[in-house]
């Protein structure tokens, strides 16, 4: 190229219009690299995290472990393939790969990944003792066959049989998305010699009829090796025959050498005890505790135990927030507490003497935290996200400002605009303040009106927080050209326990009143919303509300979308696996004890009034709200002649997780919206 042509090309580039930003699509959402599970090294200098990347052809995500300096000055480096990064001493990073524990240490004499355990059963989670001489792992075993090899032998024998029947004599027969096979998550300790597990695994829960970690979502937060390394404290529910209707998790103390059976150290509390932690010097221990048996959404108070005085007390009993996680400061004077707080999830400090509480982080959603007691002060590593940005890893040296350590989403979000979103509030049920969000549609212009999607959250004890979602993400719906309105109706979390309690026994009246008033408030706040082109969509409890609205408040809506919703509240009380939930929410009783409470807000009783087109989505492996609920609702719609579709996933549970299924889910939802409230529906 000549000098003249080069100069002309340069000038043309300077005056060329900038690339037009575009909205987020479902392909963008599914394709993002996902950061999670951040942990800080003991010296506070390094953060390790899990990075999940998409392999669409294989319909899965691959996981790798990355490490970055907590000062924010270096670039992340990939250390290994695997999950669950946990630091040991001397710069060693332990992790899970191929269902066993591995370690890697680039600065050590042997920098290559090393296999730490070679056990006959898969390792589900692990913790390394502070002195580095022991490791505690969890494995699924039969309680009467504590040797993992004996459990594996039973499965091998069953695999050789041609019979496939299963016989049960107690519940659970299935839980979340898995049929019970008689095994329990149990803890074992193994000696570490030169960083490798040696000897036979020592059972710490021999004969215990319960799971630690708890199923289906528990991890190493459910147990803790004490500061002196002599015992393991774990949270577990003694199952027996009451497991499906009990929330009585207790704390158990087990010698790490297996020399004695676990001892229940919180038997006085018949509700949920969870998340044991201990101070660095071993003088104090803390955990989270509910007070009402049978209620899974009770407030988790912070309980502090003094090992010298043997006294247990609640810290800050007047603080009306529920603790999600705890960690001690290095000097033991503070607890770091993770808790939801009015559409945000923040880290707070709590004085261990006075109980005084102060926020440490601002707006947005903090997803977990890990603390290092470094020489220069505590360093907290955590993931943070918002409605406009997916999670990234941050480090906070207490007393300083947060430093963003990762930018995993930057490249794939380049040229993509987050649609503006804002909070609003209004007087709801009982004239109490209710909060919500309005998200502007892509391409919003003043003077124009836009169709709207009314999203209803699940739980029902949940919240539309300032957080990122890889499933129900309002940025995607707004990217399709729809305004999005979301309301934290009574029953939502982060507003105090009284606000959360207000929904129990009132699924169909108080939250519906909030939704109706929120609908009016949103239109007053954003007059550019076209209320004549509206669709309501919800999942789980949100799906219940969609079915309920179809027969009790259908007037504003041109269509409905229901994902895994409760259609028949009565049969839900028999068919769901976690019975404590259905029983608490319906008069704290079984169906036969208080049938009227189950029928009071039962959508199936109002099918005669269904006329609005509805898309029903339900998956076969959803045992929380079984698939028959969705099939029955679709049957009713078809029999009545109401325009409807049924999207069924035979390989998904209460959530749609597989990448290609997620794309199909979004494509189907987008087409349904377009049919009834999109531009072609005018």
Which pLDDT tens digit goes with each residue over 607-637?
999 999 999 999 999 999 999 999 999 999 9
> Are 438 and 421 spatial neighbours (Cβ–Cβ below 8 Å)?
yes
Taking 90 as the threshold, does the pLDDT of residue 2 lie above it?
no
pLDDT tens figures, 630-668: 999 999 999 999 999 999 999 999 999 999 999 999 999
pLDDT tens for 320-366 read: 999 999 999 999 999 999 999 999 999 999 999 999 999 999 999 99
Q: At residue 159, does pLDDT exceed 90? A: yes
Tell me the per-residue pLDDT of 515-546, one tens digit each, with 9 for 90 and over.
999 999 999 999 999 999 999 999 999 999 99
Percent of the chain predicted with pLDDT > 90: 95
**Domains of the chain with CATH codes:** 116-157+171-315 (no CATH), 419-681 (3.40.50.1820)
- 256 SS3 class: coil
Average of pLDDT values for 292-300? 98
Q: Is the pLDDT of residue 20 over 90?
A: no
> Active site includes 654?
yes
Listing DSSP states for 596-629 in one string gives HHHHHT-GGGGGGG--S-EEEEEETT--SS-THH
Instruction: Write the DSSP symbol of residue 430.
Output: G
pLDDT exceeds cutoff 90 at 32 = yes
Strand partners, 422: 438
Q: Is the pLDDT of residue 177 over 70?
A: yes
Task: Write the CB contacts of 345 (distance below 8 Å, at least 6 apart in sequence).
Answer: 324, 338, 339, 364, 365, 366, 367, 465, 467, 494
Among candidate residues 253, 654, 662, 666, the one labeled active-site is 654
Average pLDDT, rounded, for the chain: 95
For residue 679, what pLDDT is reported? 82
Residue 238 scores a pLDDT above 50: yes
Residue 257 known to be catalytic: no
| pLDDT tens readout for residues 393-447 | 999 999 999 999 999 999 999 999 999 999 999 999 999 999 999 999 999 999 9
Q: Which member of 50, 220, 622, 644 is catalytic?
A: 622
- Cis, bond preceding 402 (omega within 30 deg of 0): no
Among 121, 181, 124, CA closest to 151: 121
Residue 564 DSSP one-character state: S
> Of 540, 582, 619, 662, which one is the catalytic site residue?
540
Helices (H), strands (E): how many in the chain? Answer: 13, 40
CA–CA distance, 435 with 430 (Å, rounded to integer): 14
What pLDDT does 1 receive? Answer: 38
- Tell me the pTM: 0.95
Q: Where are the beta strands (DSSP E) in 204-328?
A: 223-225, 231-237, 249-255, 263-264, 273-278, 284-289, 301-306, 311-315, 323-328
User: Does pLDDT of 3 surpass 90?
Assistant: no
Beta bridge partners, 53, equal: 62
Residue 612 Cα distances to 451, 511, 630, 636, angstroms: 17, 21, 16, 12
């Amino acid at each position: 190229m000549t000098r003249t042509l080069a100069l002309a090309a340069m000038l043309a580039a300077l005056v060329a219009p900038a690339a037009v930003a575009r909205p987020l699509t479902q392909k963008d959402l599914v394709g993002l690299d996902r950061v999670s599970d951040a942990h800080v090294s003991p010296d506070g200098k390094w953060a390790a995290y899990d990075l999940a990347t998409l392999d669409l052809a294989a319909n899965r995500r691959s996981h790798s472990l990355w490490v970055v300096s907590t000062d924010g000055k270096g670039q992340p480096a990939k250390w290994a393939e695997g999950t669950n990064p946990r630091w040991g001493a001397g710069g060693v990073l332990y992790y899970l790969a191929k269902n066993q524990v591995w370690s890697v240490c680039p600065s050590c004499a042997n920098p290559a990944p090393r296999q730490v355990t070679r056990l006959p059963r898969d390792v589900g989670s692990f913790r390394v003792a502070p002195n580095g001489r022991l490791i505690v792992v969890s494995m699924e075993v039969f309680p009467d066959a504590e040797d993992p090899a004996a459990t594996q032998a039973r499965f091998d024998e069953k695999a050789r049989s041609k019979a496939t029947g299963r016989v049960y004599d107690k519940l659970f027969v299935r839980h979340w998305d898995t049929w019970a096979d008689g095994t329990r998550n149990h803890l074992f300790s193994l000696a570490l010699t030169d960083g490798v597990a040696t000897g036979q695994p020592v059972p710490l829960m021999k004969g215990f009829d319960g799971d630690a970690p708890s199923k289906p979502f528990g991890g190493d937060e459910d147990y803790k090796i004490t500061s002196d390394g002599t015992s393991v404290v774990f949270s577990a529910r003694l199952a027996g025959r009451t497991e499906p209707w009990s929330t009585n998790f207790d704390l158990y103390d087990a010698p790490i050498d297996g020399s004695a059976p676990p001892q229940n150290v919180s038997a006085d509390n018949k509700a949920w005890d969870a998340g044991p932690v201990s101070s660095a010097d071993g003088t104090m221990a803390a955990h989270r505790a509910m007070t009402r048996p049978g209620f899974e959404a009770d407030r988790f108070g912070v309980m502090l135990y003094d090992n010298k005085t043997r006294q247990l007390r609640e810290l800050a009993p007047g603080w009306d927030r529920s603790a999600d996680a705890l960690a001690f400061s290095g000097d033991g004077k503070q607890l770091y507490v993770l808790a939801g707080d009015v559409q945000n999830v923040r880290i707070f400090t709590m004085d261990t003497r006075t109980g005084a509480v102060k926020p440490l982080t601002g707006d947005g959603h903090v997803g977990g935290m890990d603390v290092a007691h470094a020489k220069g002060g505590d360093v907290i590593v955590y993931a943070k996200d918002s409605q406009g940005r997916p999670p990234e890893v941050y480090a906070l040296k207490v007393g300083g400002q947060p430093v963003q350590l990762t930018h995993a989403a930057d490249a794939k979000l380049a040229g993509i605009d987050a649609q503006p979103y804002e909070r609003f509030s209004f007087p709801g049920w009982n004239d109490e303040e209710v909060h919500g969000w309005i998200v502007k549609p892509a391409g919003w212009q003043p003077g124009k009106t836009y169709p709207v999607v009314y999203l209803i959250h699940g739980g029902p004890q949940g919240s539309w927080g300032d957080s990122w979602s890889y499933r129900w993400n309002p940025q995607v719906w707004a990217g399709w050209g729809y305004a999005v309105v979301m309301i934290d109706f009574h029953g939502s979390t982060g507003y105090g326990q009284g606000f959360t309690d207000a929904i129990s026994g009132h699924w169909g009246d108080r939250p519906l009143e909030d939704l109706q008033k929120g609908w009016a408030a949103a239109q007053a706040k954003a007059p550019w919303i076209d209320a004549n082109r509206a669709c309501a969509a919800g999942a789980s409890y949100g799906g219940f509300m969609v079915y309920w609205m179809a027969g009790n408040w259908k007037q504003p809506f041109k269509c409905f979308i229901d994902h895994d919703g409760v259609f028949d509240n009565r049969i839900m009380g028999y068919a769901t696996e976690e019975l404590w939930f259905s029983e608490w929410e319906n008069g704290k009783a079984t169906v036969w004890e208080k049938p009227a409470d189950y029928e009071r807000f039962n959508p199936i009783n109002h099918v005669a009034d269904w006329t609005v087109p509805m898309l029903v989505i339900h998956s076969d492996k959803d045992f929380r709200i079984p698939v028959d609920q969705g099939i029955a609702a679709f049957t009713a719609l078809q029999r009545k002649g109401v325009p409807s579709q049924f999207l069924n996933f035979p390989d998904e549970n209460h959530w749609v997780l597989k990448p290609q299924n997620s794309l199909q889910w979004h494509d189907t939802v987008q087409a349904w919206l377009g049919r009834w409230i999109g531009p072609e529906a005018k």
